[in-house]
Every structure is written in structure tokens, then in C-alpha cells.
Chain A
Amino acid sequence: MATQGRPLCDADAGTDGEVLTIVGDGRVPSRLRELGLTPGTGLRVVRRAPMGGAIVVQVRGFTLALRRDEAALVQLSAIGVPALAGGGDA
């Protein structure tokens, strides 16, 4: 299955996107799906954490931190950078 999305680990802070797919079927991808990162779910990259580059996203109304290698499994589609004036909904 070819994925044309962009991996979440490459997304910059402030990026809005939609989950296209979660790559793989190990423990981490299974957990990511059960945390609600199912295809079509909107998410926003809030920031990159200091000291190590973990990536902090808002998804389904909560804040989730992922390691770089975990974020690499999330393929995003429909990437857009929202208007700078604090986008209301998460």
C-alpha cells in the first residue's frame, strides 16, 4: 500500500493536518490507533518539545507527545498552515 502522505515527524509547529494512515501493525501503531489517530482525524502540531525533539500534537481534544520515531509512523494528508490568529478549535 503506497502512502502519499507526509510523515508527522517532518511537520512544523502550527501545521494542521488530517491522519491519512498509520504505518505498520506493531505495538506502537496499534496504540496510536487506539488513542484515536484513525484515518480522517484532524490534528494540529502544537510545538516541538525542548531537549530531544519530541513532537506535541492536539488530537481529539487532548494533547499527545510522540517521539520522533513514533511520529514517523503517522502519515498526514491535507496539510495546511492555519491563519496566525489563534485557530479556535482543536
Chain B
Amino acid sequence: MPEIALAGNPNTGKTTLFNALTGSTARVGNYPGITVERRSGVRQVGDGQWSIHDLPGCYSLLALSPEEEIAHQALTGALGNPRPNAVIVVLDAGNLARNLLLLMQICDLGLPTVAALNLMDEASARGLSIDHEGLSAALGIPCVPMVARRGEGVDALERAVQQAMQVPPVARQRWQAPSPELAAALTALRDRGAAHGLPPMASEFEACWWLFSDPETLEATRPGAGAALVAASGLSPSARAALRSQATEARFADIDRLVAQHVSRAPPRRRPMTERIDSVLLNPVGGPLLFLLVMGALFQAVFAGVTPAVDAIDSVMAAISGQVSQWMPASVLRDVIVDGVLAGIAGTAVFVPQIAVLFLGIALLEDSGYLARAALMTDRLLGRAGLPGTAFVPLLSSFACNVPGIMAARAMPSPSDRLVTILIAPLMSCSARLPVYTLVTATVFADAAPVFGVLSFGGLLVLGMYGLGLVLALLVGAVLRRTVARGPRSGLMLELPPYRMPSARNVALVVWRRVRQFCLETGPLIVALTVVLWALMTWPRVELPAATRAALEADVAAAVDAPGRERAQVRIDDAASAHALSHSAAGVIGHALEPVIAPLGFDWRIGIGLVGSFAAREVLIPVLGRVYGRGGGEGLDEDAYQRQVGGALVGVSQLTPLVGVSLMIFFAVAMQCMSTVAIIARETRSWRWPVAALLGLNALAWVLAYAARQLGLAAGWS
């Protein structure tokens, strides 16, 4: 099957063309060893099929960082990719002066190359007319005008690629060393390279690529090559940089000539639409206000807008579980299926509405061009954590739920920025933490005197937890930047694309791919973890001691009326459930944790709660309810059940206001969520980072909860 690579600058409609070529066949994977997405799909062409690979968008093949090198490596047959049979370079027709640099570099690689002059409609709306035949002749490769969004030109592109593979076009070798010094340096490098362990350089451009590469980047991708380059070239970094800028200037001089010959421009009739929209959206006053409005709406949609869908999924899954329980005879297998597997599937499915809504919002913002403006406006703010503005949406959505938030970090171009964002996202107080905060504040701070006479103390405390998460995220981010994700903060140098109407097809494909990938890749992990957690909370099965059961049964017999008997019967079930849980593996772990968490003021019962709430933080409440012998809250309204659990927390586990604060801090900071562990494992393609985040954040949570308690004790609180 021929391998076709799709290359191009960012914002050229490359992804739209990829979608038009491959439709729903596209699969998203990863390049080995790096967290950069690798998208590929299949196109039916006549009787055969093409395998199409969408390379990361880039401005130049001369990489400045390891992730920028991917396009070059993929084109030259490294990274486990076969050397492609043909390359399609997507260009923004309205922007040839900038786009031609990459095209000419790729032509110099000597592969069969076809240029797709995309966005022709926008170019002509801006008064540009492009002589694509003249350009084809000048470059020596076919240039196909097209509007990928409307499918125009896709067939002509296909024919051109087919032809190019049969009779490889002879791209004009445009590259010429612009000065004798550069020519001499290139010859020297080609002659001496092999002696220093550099690969043979087939063309002038390849020699150029080596000469201009950043030794640090080379060292990161091919150990040993950086030092070899420095030795073989015999030039200082600044001499090489000077030659590099000379070469770039020569390229642009060539490009300027081409554009002058083949592009003509009628004066635009009026100020471009994009500029007029920007004068509102980037207005010093209106810009930030509209930004808050847009981001507020996105957050609200993910936070609250999905509730009906989540409720519907919950009730459907509950109905399915109920049916299965009825069909199957009571057995261990039934329990595994209902309480393990089906619960895990339900636990996966409830994320789907959030993921769908978030990626719908992101796709609309990105395709319309607003996301680049949003990144621009938040760049300085996030700079304090050493992050670029593109981290804003992932971190914001993490306040609704860490799982889709971490997935949203995919849009970040730099892997090290992305890693930092993924690792600090769990510190954003997600909506599952709110029930835990409410439990504590309603239990121990309900009667606290309002601050300044009006502000609820509990409310302020909850707000404080959000603030704590944010501040820690900035600090942890800064630490990670100086340790595991070192390197300069990536540059802004952000292109602001023209505003465009998002295409429904593109947006739908983005949402579909994300949901599908989450269900197929992260879903099984969540199911597996749910089964494990359920097993821990179920085995070994220990029955209520006979004497206790007999005493409780005597209560049933002694009850004077039917409701009394029923209540006594429920008490037996609750006591059996509490006994079983506290003797299960999770119960044993809870007991074993007691010495560790006692300094925080938590007893073994809260320990079991910490283990059980790993399924999802809000599950702390029903798990504690079971431990305290109050059942799982069946048939009680939420407030009443919360009051019961809260009462037991105070009465049995001696929850004081101070211990309540340390419990809140623990939940604000700790990574108490197996779905977050699963998504970090998926997104970073390793178990190293989720385990590190789990241990690191939980240790940090312990230290802060301990410090809060000690400070409180020292101040005379209890």
C-alpha cells in the first residue's frame, strides 16, 4: 500500500484535507517514545488503497526542538515510518510567501511531491490571483488549487499524486549555497561527516539540515549526533547560526521572486473581516470580557450542561445492571459482572458527555480561529507557571473534571509543556471534590460565625480549596519545569489565523474520534481498575459474628409492628455490610493506613473511605456510610444521608473542625481518582507518570494536611 505523507504549515487546513481524504477511517496513535499524536487513515483509490499520514504542522524542516523534528524524521524514513512514496504539501494559497519555505525544503528531499494550494476561496476573496500553472512549472512539481473544506480539488489532487508516483516529477533543485563560505562548510561536512559518525548526506539540503541542526535537539533524538555535528563541522555555534540565517534569507529572496512572478494582488475593497473582528475580540476592554464570557460558557457546558446526559446514562446503566441481576442466578460471577464490569462500563460512560461537550467546544473555538486569540491573551498569566497560553483550556476544563481536561492537553504542540499541564491538572478542584467539601463544611462548620458578618465560613473554606489547588499547580509546574520537563519556555510566535466558519464535518469528526478513543483505550483500564477495587472491597467475605447477628435478629422478633421489623431487618443488613467491608482487603488496608493517617486526625474508617473513594472522590460518602453501618444511602434523600454520615464522622471518627480542614486539604491535593490515573497512563503512554503523580501528589497532600493540623493545634484549635 503506498504511503502518502501530508505535510504543511499550521493553519493551512491540513487536517481538513486529511479528513476529506480519509473520512472516518482515521486512527490516532502516537509516535514511539514521544507524546505527539500520529494520525493516519486509509483512502480508497480505484482498486487500491493509500495509507495517508498526517504529519504535525510545522514551519520549517530545520527543527528547533525534538517535536519539530518529527516531520523531518517521518519524511526521511526514521521513527518507524517507512519513507513515504509521495508527499502532499498543503499550502495556504493566500499566504504563499510564508508557506513556500517548507514546500521548497521538502522538494529538496527528492521525494515525489505535490503541492495542494488550499483555501483558494479565501485567497481570491482577498483579491489574490495565483497562476498555479506557472508556479508548477517554476517549481517542477504539480500545484493543485483546491478548497478542501468544500471538497473542491480533492479528485484533481488524487490524480496528481497518482501521476507523481508513476512518473516522479523532477522538482527543480532550487537550493544553492548562497555564499562561498556556506558551500565550503557544506562540502567539508559531507566529507568529514562519516568519519565522525554522521549518516551519509545524499543532497545539499540534507547536508544543510545537518549543518543547521541544533546540537541539543540532535542529542535528544539521536544520542551522539550532536557532538559529532559540532566536531565534523568545525564551526562555532554562532558561525553556523550566521550561515543558517544567510541561507534563510537566500530562500526568502527566491520565494519573493516566485511570488512576484506568479501571484497578483488586486487592492482589497475594504478592511479584511478578520481585522474588524479582532478589533472587537482583542479590544483592551472588550477582549478580556468576551474571553471570560466564552470560557465561562465552555466551563458551564462541561460542568453543568452535561448533567441530564450523565443522569440518563446512570439510569440506563442501573436498569441494565438490574436486568442482569435478575437473569443471572446469585453467584460470584454475577457479582463480578454487575458490581465490577458493568460498574466500570458505567464509570467510563459517564465521562462521555463531558468529553464530547468539551471537544465540541474546543473544535469550534479552534476551527473558528478564536483558540489562538485565547492562547494569546492567557500567555502572560500562564507564563508564571512556565506554561504557554495553550494550557488554559485544559486547566480550565480540569475544574469540571480532570479526565477531559487532561485529554484536552493534546492540543498543546510542545510535549514538555503538555507533560507539565497533564501533571498539574489533577490539582484543579474538580466537581467530584465538591460533595466531599460540602460534607465536611455542612458537618463541622454549619454553625460557624459568618466572616465579616455576611460570608459563610464554610463557603470561604471551599473557595480556599480551589485557590490552594491553583497556587500549588503554579508551584508544582515551576518545579517540574526546573526538573523533569526542563528546557526553555516554548516561544509564543503564534500565528493568528483568519476567522473561519467551522465545518460541521470537521467538528463532528474531532468529537467522534476523541470519544471513540477514550472508550476503546481508556475505558478498558477504568473497567479493570473498577473490578480490582470492587474485589478489594468484597474479599475476603466475612460474615457477621453469630452472636451479633442473633442479637440483631432478636430485635426483629421483638419489634411491635411491621415497619419496626423492617427497620430492624435493615439494621442487620447494614451491620453485615459494615462488618464485611471492614474485614475485606480494603478494610485491612484502611486499618493498615491508620498509623500513617493518624497524624492527620483520620481513623481507619476514614482510611477505608480513602481506599474506596479511589473509584471517584464523591464515593467517599457512601463508602463511609457503609463503614458506619448506615448502608449506602438507599431510599434516603441526599441531604439526610449526608447528615447521617456527617453525624457518624463526628460521633465515631471524632471529626473536629480542624480534622475536617485537614480532610478537605487532603482531598484538594491528593490524586484520589483511578480514572485520572488511567487517563494519564493513556496520554503519556507510560505508567511512570501516573505512578509518579499518584505518589507525589498524595505525599504532598499528606504533608499539607499534616501542616494544617499542626498549625491549628499550635493555635489552640482542636
A interface residue numbers (CB < 8 A to B): 22, 25-36, 38-39, 41, 46-54, 56, 60-67, 70, 86, 88-89
- Whole-angstrom distance from the CB of A48 to the nearest CB of chain B? 8
A contact residues around B65 at 8 Å (CB): 27
Chain A residue nearest in CB terms to B97: A60
From known contacts A38-B249, A65-B494, A67-B491, infer whether A51 and B214 are also in contact, taking CB-CB under 8 Å. Answer: no
A39 to B95, CA, bound (A): 19
Tell which of B130-138, B218-226, B376-384, B540-548 binds the partner: B376-384
B contact residues around A63 at 8 Å (CB): 274, 278, 495-498
Q: Is B279 interfacial (CB-CB < 8 Å)?
A: yes
A contact residues around B237 at 8 Å (CB): 25
A34 and B248 contacting across the interface, CB-CB below 8 Å? yes
Contact digits for B364-379, partner A, Cβ 8 Å, 1 yes 0 no: 0000000011001111
**Which of A29, A41, A62, A88 has most B Cβ within 10 Å?**
A62
- Whole-angstrom distance from the CB of B214 to the nearest CB of chain A? 7
Q: Is B238 interfacial (CB-CB < 8 Å)?
A: yes
A66 to B381, CA, bound (A): 15
Q: Is B257 interfacial (CB-CB < 8 Å)?
A: no
B245 and A33 contacting across the interface, CB-CB below 8 Å? yes
A30 to B59, CA, bound (A): 11
Q: Which of B269-316 contact A (CB under 8 A)?
A: 270-271, 274-275, 278-279, 282-285, 287-288, 291
Chain B residue nearest in CB terms to A61: B95
A contact residues around B98 at 8 Å (CB): 35-36, 60-62
From known contacts A36-B98, A54-B376, A67-B491, infer whether A30 and B241 are also in contact, taking CB-CB under 8 Å. Answer: yes
Chain B residue nearest in CB terms to A39: B249
A52 and B64 contacting across the interface, CB-CB below 8 Å? no
B contact residues around A70 at 8 Å (CB): 491-493
Selected contact of A32 from candidates B253, B380, B493, B494, CB within 8 Å: B493
A contact residues around B380 at 8 Å (CB): 51-54
B contact residues around A46 at 8 Å (CB): 275, 278
From known contacts A33-B248, A39-B249, infer whether A51 and B381 are also in contact, taking CB-CB under 8 Å. Answer: yes
A sample of 9 more A-B contacts (CB under 8 A), given A60-B97, A67-B379, is A36-B255, A47-B282, A50-B287, A51-B378, A52-B377, A56-B278, A61-B95, A65-B372, A65-B376
A28 to B62, CA, bound (A): 13
From known contacts A36-B97, A50-B287, A60-B97, infer whether A31 and B378 are also in contact, taking CB-CB under 8 Å. Answer: no
A54 and B379 contacting across the interface, CB-CB below 8 Å? yes
A86 and B252 contacting across the interface, CB-CB below 8 Å? no
Q: Is B267 interfacial (CB-CB < 8 Å)?
A: yes
A27 and B252 contacting across the interface, CB-CB below 8 Å? no
Selected contact of A50 from candidates B271, B274, B288, CB within 8 Å: B288
Chain A residue nearest in CB terms to B283: A50
Selected contact of A88 from candidates B64, B242, B267, B285, CB within 8 Å: B267
B245 and A50 contacting across the interface, CB-CB below 8 Å? no
A25 and B242 contacting across the interface, CB-CB below 8 Å? yes
Q: Is B505 interfacial (CB-CB < 8 Å)?
A: no
B contact residues around A67 at 8 Å (CB): 379, 491-492
B377 and A49 contacting across the interface, CB-CB below 8 Å? yes
A25 to B384, CA, bound (A): 26
Q: Which of B205-245 contact A (CB under 8 A)?
A: 214, 237-238, 241-242, 244-245
A49 and B245 contacting across the interface, CB-CB below 8 Å? no
A20 to B274, CA, bound (A): 28
B59 and A25 contacting across the interface, CB-CB below 8 Å? no
- Whole-angstrom distance from the CB of B417 to the nearest CB of chain A? 15
A contact residues around B488 at 8 Å (CB): 27
A34 to B283, CA, bound (A): 29
A31 and B249 contacting across the interface, CB-CB below 8 Å? no
A31 and B245 contacting across the interface, CB-CB below 8 Å? no
Q: Which of B655-712 contact A (CB under 8 A)?
A: none
B contact residues around A34 at 8 Å (CB): 59-60, 62, 101, 248
A-B contact pairs, 17 of them (CB 8 A): A22-B245, A30-B62, A30-B244, A33-B245, A33-B249, A47-B279, A51-B291, A52-B377, A54-B492, A56-B278, A61-B97, A62-B495, A63-B495, A67-B379, A86-B270, A86-B271, A89-B267
Chain A residue nearest in CB terms to B263: A61
A61 and B94 contacting across the interface, CB-CB below 8 Å? yes
A contact residues around B287 at 8 Å (CB): 49-51
Q: Is B643 interfacial (CB-CB < 8 Å)?
A: no
Q: Which of B50-69 contact A (CB under 8 A)?
A: 59-60, 62, 64-65
Contact digits for B92-107, partner A, Cβ 8 Å, 1 yes 0 no: 1011011001000000
A35 and B493 contacting across the interface, CB-CB below 8 Å? yes
A86 to B271, CA, bound (A): 7
B245 and A30 contacting across the interface, CB-CB below 8 Å? yes
Chain B residue nearest in CB terms to A62: B95
B495 and A31 contacting across the interface, CB-CB below 8 Å? no
Contact digits for B346-388, partner A, Cβ 8 Å, 1 yes 0 no: 0000000000000000000000000011001111110100000
Q: Which of B473-496 contact A (CB under 8 A)?
A: 488, 491-496
- Whole-angstrom distance from the CB of B329 to the nearest CB of chain A? 64
A contact residues around B492 at 8 Å (CB): 54, 65-67, 70
A48 to B284, CA, bound (A): 8
Q: Is B265 interfacial (CB-CB < 8 Å)?
A: yes
Chain A residue nearest in CB terms to B240: A25
- Whole-angstrom distance from the CB of B221 to the nearest CB of chain A? 15
Chain B residue nearest in CB terms to A60: B97
Q: Is B268 interfacial (CB-CB < 8 Å)?
A: yes
A53 to B248, CA, bound (A): 29
Closest 7 CB pairs of A and B: A52-B380, A25-B241, A63-B496, A60-B97, A50-B287, A27-B64, A34-B60
Chain A residue nearest in CB terms to B239: A25
Q: Which of B101-145 contact A (CB under 8 A)?
A: 101
B381 and A52 contacting across the interface, CB-CB below 8 Å? yes
A contact residues around B271 at 8 Å (CB): 86
B101 and A36 contacting across the interface, CB-CB below 8 Å? yes
A66 to B498, CA, bound (A): 17
B279 and A38 contacting across the interface, CB-CB below 8 Å? no
Chain B residue nearest in CB terms to A51: B377
A28 to B373, CA, bound (A): 20
A47 and B278 contacting across the interface, CB-CB below 8 Å? yes
B contact residues around A41 at 8 Å (CB): 252
A34 to B268, CA, bound (A): 27
B contact residues around A52 at 8 Å (CB): 377, 379-381, 383
A27 to B493, CA, bound (A): 11
A contact residues around B491 at 8 Å (CB): 27-28, 31, 67, 70
B377 and A50 contacting across the interface, CB-CB below 8 Å? yes
A contact residues around B252 at 8 Å (CB): 36, 38, 41
